[in-house]
Structure 1
Amino acid sequence: MLEEGFYEVPAGHVAAVVTYLEMHAPVPEQPAPVSEGLSLVRIEEPDPDWYRALFARVGAGEWLWFSRLLLEDDALADILENPDVEIYVLRRDGLDIGLLELDFRTSGACELAFFGLVGSAVGTGAGRYLMNAALRRAWEAPITLLHVHTCTMDSPRALPFYLRSGFVPVRREVQIAQDPRLSGVIDPAAAPQVPILK
């Protein structure tokens, strides 16, 4: 447990505050302002390269999503091919605009492992459509816990959106990691709001 105070972040690293949220029972569905042209498709056998490309489009431009981009093919395939992990793509008029990953590998629980939209889809109602679908699918399973986490390297809209969706914050952590922009994992120009410390 960290004491109160300031802690230096080493050069070449980034720091984030991670908030963990939970839901222990279904909540009333909120109306999605728009659904025309939207479809949610489960990808039964996701190709790792396709997954990485969508993951990067959703989270590695404006934001600093990088965890799955660090995985070798075998490690990523172990997750994507697990029958208890469900991968969905949100499409608008045939174009991939969102990613949803539900992880049921822990008995009685579901992790909303990844949830996001490409930048052009944010604020269009697509997020609410995707969340409604995620909540319906998660609670169809025999679970008593649905959980998600977000951090300050993600969109500042993410945490308020999860709160409005019925999740309750339960704990926080500070994460320090090597800056993926310096290793070439993601574009050095990504997430300009987080300065690179060389």
Structure 2
Amino acid sequence: MKSKYLETTLSLDDLAQKEEEYTEISSVIPSNAEDIDTVISYYKIIANKWGWFSRLQWSFEEWSNHILDNTTYFRFIVNNYNKIGFLELKRISRDVGLIKYVALLDEFIGLGYGKQTIFLIKKMAKENALNKLLVQTRDTDHPNALKSYLKAGFVILKQEELTFEK
């Protein structure tokens, strides 16, 4: 499996110019037990499709602690009051964030919401004093994931072949 590591720096000018273009989605912080259950359900649905297995066995308590961690920015992606997926941004140093997940339910893929979500993440990062974002994509991710990050101003830092033992 091939993996690519990308980065971008954040510009206030870039964010201001695009703000008006991206108004179809917003984000909501999971805030109660029902929301945590929805996160778990969405993760299982989306993880199985894209081969994300690291959190499939997490308990409700592990998810709750993770979402409430003050270095994790976990949000539902919302369109017309409907939760259509989730995003996760992790602060890994004082001014650097790592995009862990941009995850949309199948029926919302290919409608431009991924691009809007990347913009939302960049805006959220800037609001939280992050000046650089990193992300890893794999060839098992959605075929347009890499293209979307490149169009959003990310550049490839390195590429490697990953192997997993069974």
The equivalences for 1:1-198 within 5 A come to 16-26=1-11, 28-29=14-15, 30=18, 35-36=23-24, 38-44=25-31, 48-61=36-49, 63-71=50-58, 75-177=62-164
> Which segment drifts farther, 47-56 or 132-141?
47-56
Q: Cα distance, 1:65 vs. partner?
A: 1.9
Which structure dedicates a bigger proportion of its chain to helix? 2
The AA in structure 2 aligned to 1:147 is L
Does the 8 Å contact 1:34/1:125 carry over to 2? no
- 5+ long unaligned stretches in structure 2: none
Whole-angstrom distance in 2 between the partners of 1:173 and 1:72: 32
Does the 8 Å contact 1:87/1:99 carry over to 2? yes
The AA in structure 1 aligned to 2:38 is W
Percent identical residues: 23
Give 3-state SS (helix, strand or coil) of 2:70's partner.
coil
Does the 8 Å contact 1:59/1:118 carry over to 2? no
Does the 8 Å contact 1:103/1:113 carry over to 2? yes
Give 3-state SS (helix, strand or coil) of 2:162's partner.
strand
Q: Cα distance, 1:163 vs. partner?
A: 0.4
What do residues 61-120 of structure 1 show as CA deviations (whole Å, max 9, x unaligned)? 2x2122221445555444222112111111233332121111114222111111121121
Whole-angstrom distance in 2 between the partners of 1:158 and 1:110: 18
Does the 8 Å contact 2:97/2:133 carry over to 1? yes
Q: Cα distance, 1:144 vs. partner?
A: 3.2
- 5+ long unaligned stretches in structure 1: 1-15, 180-198
Normalised by the size of structure 2, how large is the TM-score?
0.81
Normalised by the size of structure 1, how large is the TM-score?
0.69
Whole-angstrom distance in 1 between the partners of 2:59 and 2:160: 26
> Which segment drifts farther, 65-74 or 142-151?
65-74
Does the 8 Å contact 1:31/1:128 carry over to 2? no
What do residues 130-189 of structure 1 show as CA deviations (whole Å, max 9, x unaligned)? 22111111012223321111101111110011000111110123223367xxxxxxxxxx
The AA in structure 2 aligned to 1:144 is N
Does the 8 Å contact 2:98/2:133 carry over to 1? yes
> Which residue number in structure 2 is paired with residue 190 of structure 1?
none
Whole-angstrom distance in 1 between the partners of 2:98 and 2:22: 26
Whole-angstrom distance in 1 between the partners of 2:27 and 2:116: 9
Moved over 6 A (4+): 31-34
Decide which structure has the larger Cα Rg and report it: 1
Q: How many residues of Structure 1 are paired with residues of Structure 2 in the alignment? A: 162
**RMSD between superposed Cα atoms in Å:** 2.6
